[in-house]
Structure 1
Amino acid sequence: MEQSKTTRPVDMREPFLFADILGNVSRVALNLIRGEITRNEKQQIGVDESKCGCYYNRTHGIPCSHLIALSYSSGFGIPLSEFHDFWKKIDIEIDTTAVELVLLIATFKKRGMNSKTLHFYCNENYLSQLTKRYIQS
């Protein structure tokens, strides 16, 4: 997913069409969209829902050929809301507790403080919460 922000996995002749989704959906979804655009061009589906069949919309939760054509004709591009959450970027919160604790212990050692001093500071609210989070994970 991270590569979606830095690479352009699809041929984008109309960049505005991808403005809202590039970097917000997976590369696989972008490639499926590109396939639907190609299918629309070859089969001359346009915005006709009866010609489209809406396969990807029903089965995969991504815009199908005629919806992409509607987005194109509107001039606004493909809305992110047309994608199922499965395809959207996932924000993962990184737990920095272990890193913070290791840095804190390293600081104590560098300053020549012993484990008794560290235990004393463990009674302080921040360090206490930090060690509790580290021990629980």
Structure 2
Amino acid sequence: MTIQEENQQSFGTEHWPEEIRYVSEDKALVIRFDSGETFTYPAEFLRVESPSAEVQGHGPGQKTTVPGRRHVGIMAVEPVGNYAVRLKFDDLHDTGIFSWQYLHKLGREQDGLWQAYLDSLAAKGLSRDP
């Protein structure tokens, strides 16, 4: 069994990053997965979809709509074992651990998640601007 196959069993993910790159001038994280898919994640999108309890809550239906993050950037991308990265945002949020599985899901569902976020902001009278 290869290390990748062992990791897939251990961490429940089918897709592994082959390249992770932060493009500071675009404020975007680019990840190429072994599936051949490449996703570009705006820092704002990653910040408002952070897997942290601060954003997601502690149970179903507790997700928070995070306003005012249009200009957020990423200061650091730190590996967490073989299964994730911790993103340190320049608004000092750094508690979310983004697993490969979660990042792949975000990439595939980005358009729908982004629209749901914009709809939630509008419904609550909030703005992307600080």
- TM-score, length basis structure 1: 0.23
Larger Rg: 1
- TM-score, length basis structure 2: 0.24
Task: Write 1 or 2 for the structure with the bigger share of helix.
Answer: 1
Task: Write 1 or 2 for the structure with the bigger share of strand.
Answer: 2
